[in-house]
Structure 1
Amino acid sequence: MKANGINYDSSVSLQTIEKDLATKKSSFSSDLQIKIEQLQDADYVYLSDSGDVYSSKRGYLGKADKIEENNISDTSSSLQNSTITPLSQSNPTVSEIFGGTTGAFERRQLGSSGFNGIISNVTLPTISNVTVNEQPWVYYGFENSVGALEGGYAYQTGSGIWLPYIKNVASGYLYADSAYAKSSGTTVNNFKFYIQLASGQTYYTAYLVEVGATNTVVRFASTPWTSISDLSVKRVTSIGQNNFNGSDILTKSMNQKWDSVQVSKYNSGGIYTSWSAFIEYSEWKNNMWYGTIDCTSSYVHRSNGYVSLYL
């Protein structure tokens, strides 16, 4: 109205203004009439300080939940998949976790930025109460939409030793020679898993290495990748069991630790950077959690950097 050169007191009702305009013969009165009708037809919603919600047309609508300002996250990241994140991340069921029915585990994962190497000082856990059809594991992994690969240590329930291994789709589990076996509680310094393209080859090869005076390759295997620019990397401590229901694993895995964890990317020139320099990946999609997650919170216990798995 002010744009049309008409000044009205804010306390005057729309009905009064509409009646006044009806007596005026001007070029702008018809436009204002339309706008006033639109305003009169609008539905206004009012939120009181106590959380009561009212509508100008529908009356009382109910009570709104209050969300503290410091709990509001960046919508650009939380809504990137146009989905609403459930409240189950801190305590999900096995069916809400990708890979959840394969056993109890702590999984830490970085996103699909082309990681091609990971190294750390890994302390192997002490295992007790070993139960049939349950097997502890400590391993690294790479994955993308093409496939997945893991390499680390597998607990041998018969002998009580840890053997290095690589698992790929084509060959399954490939174990290292028993000369590289370790006992529970051992810390393997500079234990490395990386992917490299050999000269003249199309597919990358994965290498599991104990970095020392001789940089011993304890196991190597083929990979499904001709390109690794979108690989993610993870590290996992777990007790495997088929059809895990969230409470039926009896084996205990105590005091596993990853220390001085570093990762490299395909375009880094072989330079390794601290894991903590990157933001861990966690995503809700396909009605389950991917990436960093505990399976389940009742099994995963942490103390002074160590991780134990038991119920």
Structure 2
Amino acid sequence: MDILVTGGAGFIGGHLAERFVRDGHDVVVLDNFDPYYDRRLKEHNVKVAREATEASEGTYELVEGDVRDENLVADLVGGVDYVYHQAAQAGVRANIEPRKYHTVNVDGTLNVLDAARETDLERIVFASSSSVYGKARYLPYDEAHVTEPVSPYGASKLAAERYGLVYGDRYDVPFVSLRYFTVYGPRMRPNMAISNFVSRCTNGDPPEIYGDGSKTRDFTYIEDVLDANRTLLHEDAADGEILNIGSTDTISIERLAETVRDELAPDLDIVYSEGYDIDAEHTHADISKASELLGYEPSRTIEEGVREFIAWYRDNRAWYEPLVRGE
């Protein structure tokens, strides 16, 4: 298969590109190397994906460009069978003007959708987010839960997702939206809670929680996200659908900090700082729809995934830790 991964040098996109290459596919990655987080992480993701070609029949091509470039996107989409659209301006509480979320996440998605109208594309798989739900009316969230995002990021993801469904209905563009719930694992974004807790405990610093630690999250291990995405290379049952991709295994931020602390530095005390009002109180995914349509099943508890990440962190500390600590 010929596959385009937009945002393919990022965390999830980088893992997808690497896995598709290892599976023997021909992969084109589009990424603009936005400095939202350290470019060195994206360069490492590119390096790993390129190295995957050495033991595979798959190929890898990097195009440094932007999903807001309509002509470039049209050219790339026209040459592939599948598009995994991961490119986005990330950050729920980032100090970024709302219009940038719109131009990247909405206009960029429209460029992909418009290009797909002119091709015989097999499928667009869109990376959406649990941020589209906003304040929980009930838990776990199912896909029918009201969507009232409380951040520009969440609003832009919802708008892009809706455009995709409209294009699927009106223009026969095969489109699937995967709503991810806090994805973590090796090579995760350096500013995530887990990576920060691990870094601090590894260096003898107490894990720091923003708020009182009572907020809960449904953390999803990267391998489970990859499995859902790979299934969509041969499964069309989810075309035109929205699917939650989570773990169903929730944990409070305080318990998460304790889990990391107990594994690495049991004598440390946890410290607390002022929280962020824009953060969701709780997230919890109902994955019954993804299970029914894709056979999706999470493979790890949060405790198992954290232990795997800690082992990876220890093996990769020399290059990864400076990114987490902003050095």
Which bracket does the TM-score occupy, shorter chain normalised? Answer: under 0.3
Report the structure, 1 or 2, having the larger helix content.
Answer: 2
Larger radius of gyration: 1
Query: TM-score scaled to structure 2, two decimals?
Result: 0.23
Q: TM-score, normalised by structure 1?
A: 0.24
Which structure's relative contact order is higher, taking Cα pairs within 8 Å and 6+ residues apart? 1
